[in-house]
């Protein structure tokens, strides 16, 4: 007797062409448990991050700030799960574009939640918050957990707090299945090169290939973070979607002391694993790369998430650097940027 085939779940990923979204798509497609739907902006989206899986994703053109488009797409797909990764995520530009950041990060989230409510659908809906939301944390307050006070010091972090809290409101008010996370620093291939570690690796690759003078231009280097590999993060998001309780907040990060470094230490390690002569490389601080207000320390306590899911980062810190540098070497060599 032949068993009846099981219909695959429909999983929608907003921001699927970005850094985190593309790695999540890779993981979901590899598991082959669901149909993967992705949103892209018809006139703006860069597709390089998903070029290897472009024919395996069911695409919709949509800007999450367009409430009508969002509603029509959710009505058509009726997803079982939504990973809401579409966001403006670079901190530095948020001072010059605070309204745009709020439009995308907050209003875009409201559009999705309102569409779910109006269409009477209730998929599990993951909101990926940021450790940046904690802001000005004192040394004695480390490590940061779900109850640590929020002291945001940049417009980006304010928009992420707003996104998180409106998700909680829709959970409480309308019983929507909102899953709330705050993830600490995650790095690896496909991160845009205006972010710190990606920027260092990009410049090192250019110097190695004689396309740039041996000068690495940086911002402030003494902020301390706990870093995890992007592949560990998307595994955590998958587990959060499967196991976390709607309405609850979960901190995600790397607790191992070997993953905790300042950006200065990370830059030095990248130079050490490169083909550069340390004595011939000049580090120059560029005012345009220095934030108006810094977040000096972000180190998370993931006990709550770990005890629920049995998750912890598996990829060594050094591989984050190797993978990032190799990614940018390929791009620079082939003039793809």
What does pTM read for this prediction?
0.96
Residue listed under structure tokens 């870093």? 227
Cα-Cα end-to-end distance for the chain: 55
Q: Say if residue 62 is in the same domain as residue 172.
A: yes
- pLDDT of 337: 57
Do both 23 and 115 map to the same domain?
Answer: yes
Which domain does 153 fall in, by range?
A: 9-187+229-255
Contact criterion met (CB below 8 Å) for 167 and 126? no
Query: Both 129 and 271 in a single domain?
Result: no
Catalogue the long-range contacts made by 28-36 (C-beta closer than 8 Å, 24 or more residues apart): 28/238, 29/53, 29/56, 29/57, 31/238, 33/8, 33/9, 34/8, 34/9, 34/10, 34/80, 34/81, 35/8, 35/9, 35/10, 35/11, 36/11
- Same domain for 94 and 117, yes or no, is yes
Q: Do the beta carbons of residue 185 and residue 226 sit within 8 Å?
A: yes
Assess whether 65 and 106 both reside in one domain: yes
CA distance 228 to 170: 30
Judge if 116 and 210 occupy the same domain: no
Are 45 and 158 members of one domain?
yes
Report the domain count for the chain.
2
List the chain residues with pLDDT less than 70. Answer: 1-5, 337
| Segment 70-129, tens digit of pLDDT | 999 999 999 999 999 999 999 999 999 999 999 999 999 999 999 999 999 999 999 999
The answer to whether residue 309 is domain-embedded is no
114 within some domain: yes
CATH number at residue 278: 3.90.25.10
- Pairing type for strands 297-298 and 224-226 reads parallel
Taking residue 7's Cβ as centre, other Cβ atoms within 10 Å add up to: 8
pLDDT at 1: 41
Residue 303 lies in a domain: no
Whether residue 305 lies inside any domain: the answer is no
Closest CA to 299 of 225, 228, 229: 225
Q: Residue 250 belongs to a domain with what CATH number?
A: 3.40.50.720
Exposed (0-12), middle (13-18) or buried (19+): which is 182, by Cβ within 10 Å? buried
174 shares its domain with 144? yes
- Res 5: pLDDT: 55
* H helix intervals, the chain: 19-31, 67-77, 98-102, 108-119, 155-174, 196-208, 230-243, 263-273, 303-309, 317-333
Q: Is residue 246 part of a domain?
A: yes
- Identify whether 171 is part of a domain: yes
């Amino acid at each position: 007797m032949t068993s009846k085939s099981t219909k695959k779940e429909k999983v929608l990923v907003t921001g699927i062409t970005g850094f985190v979204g593309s790695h999540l798509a890779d993981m979901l497609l590899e598991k082959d448990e669901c149909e993967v739907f992705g949103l892209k902006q018809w006139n703006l989206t860069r597709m390089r991050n998903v070029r290897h899986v472009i024919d395996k994703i069911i695409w919709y053109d949509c800007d999450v700030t367009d409430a009508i488009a969002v509603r029509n797409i959710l009505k058509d797909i009726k997803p079982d799960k939504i990973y809401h990764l579409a966001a403006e995520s670079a901190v530095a530009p948020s001072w010059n574009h605070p309204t745009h950041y709020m439009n995308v990060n907050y209003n875009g989230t409201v559009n999705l939640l309102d569409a779910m409510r109006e269409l009477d659908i209730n998929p599990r809906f993951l909101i990926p918050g940021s450790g940046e939301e904690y802001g000005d944390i004192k040394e004695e307050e480390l490590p940061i957990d779900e109850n640590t006070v929020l002291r945001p010091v940049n417009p980006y972090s304010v928009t992420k707090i707003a996104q998180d809290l409106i998700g909680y409101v829709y959970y409480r008010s309308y019983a929507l299945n909102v899953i709330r996370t705050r993830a600490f620093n995650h790095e690896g291939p496909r991160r845009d090169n205006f972010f710190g570690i990606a920027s260092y690796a990009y410049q090192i690759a250019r110097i190695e290939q004689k396309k740039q003078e041996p000068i690495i231009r940086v911002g402030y280097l003494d902020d301390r973070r706990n870093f995890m590999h992007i592949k560990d993060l998307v595994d955590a998001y998958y587990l959060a979607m499967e196991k976390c309780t709607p309405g609850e907040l979960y901190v995600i990060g790397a607790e191992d002391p070997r993953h905790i470094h300042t950006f200065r230490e990370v830059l030095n390690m990248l130079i050490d694993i490169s083909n550069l002569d340390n004595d011939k490389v000049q580090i120059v601080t560029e005012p345009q790369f220095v934030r108006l207000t810094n977040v000096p320390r972000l180190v998370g306590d993931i006990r709550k998430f770990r005890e629920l899911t049995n998750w912890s980062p598996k990829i060594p810190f050094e591989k984050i650097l190797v993978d990032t540098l190799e990614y940018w070497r390929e791009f620079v060599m082939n003039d793809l940027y």
